Structure formats: C-alpha cells, structure tokens
Amino acid sequence: MATTSMEPTKKSLLDRLPVSSHIRQSVGLQRTMLLIGVVLCIVFVVAAIFAPLLAPYGYSQISDDAGSFPAQAEPGGKHLLGTTVGGYDVLSRVIWGSQTALAVIVAAVLMSIFLGVFLGLVSGYFGGWLDRVLVVIADAIYAFPTLLVAIVMSIAINKGQSGFWGGIFACGFAITAVFVPQYFRVIRAETIRLKAEPFVESAQVVGASSARIISRHIFSNATRTLPLIFTLNASEAILTLAGLGFLGFGIEPSSAAEWGFDLNKAMSDASSGIWWTGVFPGIAIVLTVVGLTLVGESINDLNDPRLRGRRAAGAKGVPGPSTAAAQAAIAADVRGL
C-alpha cells in the first residue's frame, strides 16, 4: 500500500515575504483593500525612485528653451497640471515631492525601529531597574505631540528653514523621538510574554547566553507586529513633514519639492479660483497615506488567526476554525521560527 508523505511543503521566498504571503491569505473585500493599498504604495515608491525620469521638469525649474514658465497657468499643454504662482510646474513638484517623502520615511522610521526594538528587547528580557527607568522615559516622551517636537527640532537644527538633508534630518529626529516609545512598548510586552515560554526556558537551561536567546529565539517572534506599526508610522511621517512645510518650517523650495510647502503657497490661490496648485499636492498626500494605512490594517487583520479564520470562513460559507486550531497554528509558527 502506498504511503502518503506528511512532510510539510517548503514555502518559496516569495510566499514568505510579508505582503506577498498576506495577499495569498486574504479573500474578498480584505484582498481588494490590500491590493489597492499595495498598488498605491508601489506608485508612490516608483514615483520617488524614478522622479528624475518621470518628472517633465526639475523641482525648482521655472524656464526652458522656450522661455520662462507662465505663473498660475491652467492645466493643459506642456504643463499638464498647471503651474504655481512662482512658475513651478505642478506635476513636476508632485512627483519630486514623493522622493522627499520617501527619504523622510526611510530616515525617520528606520531610526525609530532600530532604537525601539533594541530598547524593548533589552528592557523586557532583563527587567529590573533598567526596565522601570526606560518605561518612565518612554511614557514621558510619548506625551509630547509629534508636530510640536518636529517644529522645535526644525528651529533648533536649521533655524526653521533648511535644505534637503537638513529638513530630512530635522523631521527624522523629531519622528524618531516620538515613535521610539511605540516600538519600545510593543516589543517590551512581547519580550516579557515570550520570556516565560517553554522554548526560552529550555534555552536558558542548556546554558545559552542572553544575547543568543534574544537574537535567535525572542527577536523573530517579538517583531511580528512591526509591519503594521511601520506602515502607520510611515503615514504619520508623511503627515508630519507636510505639517512642517505647511507651517513654514520645512524644506526650502529651491532645495527640494515638498507637498506641505506647496499647500501653504496654494492657500492664497484658492480664494482666486486657482484650484490646481493645491488640489494635486493634497491628493498626493491623501493617496499615499491611504495606501500605507490600507496595507497596515490589512496585515494586522491577517496576522490575527481569529479574524483570518472568520474572513476565510465567510468566503467559503463554512464555520471558522476553533480556538484550539488557531492556537495550534500559532504554536506551529513559533516552532518553525
């Protein structure tokens, strides 16, 4: 009699990637929302990376071989989205602005992830007086509004106006200071929970060092919620940069394109019926934030076995898995890690 192999099939690298694996798990409306978010994020990243190729003009260009650009020209012709009061091409400013926003996300969110995860792992695993001190500091920092800290940092670093890297530096430090407590609290709570698990206690019994236990057994399990926090904080980073530019504390227009600054200059145009200078930068902000939020919320839902089970069951017309089955799935994931 032929025997059937019970060995699990090994997933490919593409299937193990966060977004790719979640798309395969999603069904119905959840998949639609996730795909819309992924498409918006891809458009944003592609526009940022290939801005020099996609933008018809430079971010501070106000003339070409035919002469100076007209001020506040209506959309059409060689200026598809019109021009601003300063003669800048709106389409070019919107495309170049995505590059500035992506630089802020990379600089700010990655710094806050590194510090927050490191401090959360150390605080949750070792505990004691170090844990109490870090918790008090994190709670104190978390009480400050993000935009207020960003304004103070911008004034302290570059006197309120800056070039490209100066603005990225100011906004990145402000967001890092405010977002570190979020990563710290999440990772700390997961580390405290995982420290009491049998596989960690077994590693301690066999004499594994603290550094090895943290890096090999706790880190991969404690950071499973980071994709959600990353996408939400990336949205907040874009809004913070736009707020700085709108209030006049952002990047100078001759140094880089920035959506918030363009919205500030478009305020006086709105009363004159010139809508295109403010609508298109605003749409760029909204679509980028919506795309990142849809991806983050979808990943959060699909990471929860109860929500994933109910969605899959609703799509197939059968009851969802039991609590015991969900717990067994989690245990299998932990053993696989």
pLDDT tens track for 185-196: 888 888 888 887
The enclosing domain of 260 has a CATH number of 1.10.3720.10
Residue matched to tokens 């707020």: 243
pLDDT the model gives residue 24: 66
Highest mean pLDDT: which range of 134-143, 152-161, 237-246, 286-295: 286-295
Structural domain count of the chain: 1
pLDDT (average), residues 56-83: 84
Q: Residue 10 and residue 6: Cα distance in Å, rounded? A: 12
Is the pLDDT confidence value at 320 over 60? Answer: no
pLDDT (average), residues 290-298: 85
- Within-domain flag for 329: no
Rounded alpha-carbon distances, angstroms, from residue 181 to 73, 85, 116, 127, 233: 46, 42, 7, 16, 12
- Within-domain flag for 69: no
3-class DSSP assignment, residue 75: coil
pLDDT the model gives residue 94: 92
Q: Which two tokens stand for residue 187?
A: 């990772």
Among candidates 17, 27, 91, which has minimal Cα distance to 56?
Answer: 91
Among candidates 57, 85, 59, 60, which has minimal Cα distance to 73?
Answer: 85
Among candidates 238, 228, 243, which has minimal Cα distance to 293?
Answer: 228
Q: Residue 60 and residue 62: Cα distance in Å, rounded? A: 6
Q: Which two tokens stand for residue 210?
A: 């603290």
Is the pLDDT confidence value at 330 over 60? Answer: no
- Within-domain flag for 337: no
- Within-domain flag for 325: no
> pLDDT class for 50, splitting at 50, 70, 90?
very high
**Tell me: the pLDDT tens digits for 98-149?**
988 898 888 887 888 888 888 888 888 888 888 888 888 888 877 777 778 7
Rounded alpha-carbon distances, angstroms, from residue 155 to 60, 148, 151, 152: 24, 11, 6, 5
Stated pTM of the model: 0.75
- Within-domain flag for 146: yes
- Within-domain flag for 22: no
Averaged pLDDT score across all residues of the chain: 77
- Within-domain flag for 335: no
Enclosing domain of residue 184? 30-61+78-318
Specify the range with the lowest mean pLDDT, choosing from 229-243, 246-260, 284-298, 301-315: 301-315
Q: Residue 188 and residue 116: Cα distance in Å, rounded? A: 9
- Within-domain flag for 17: no
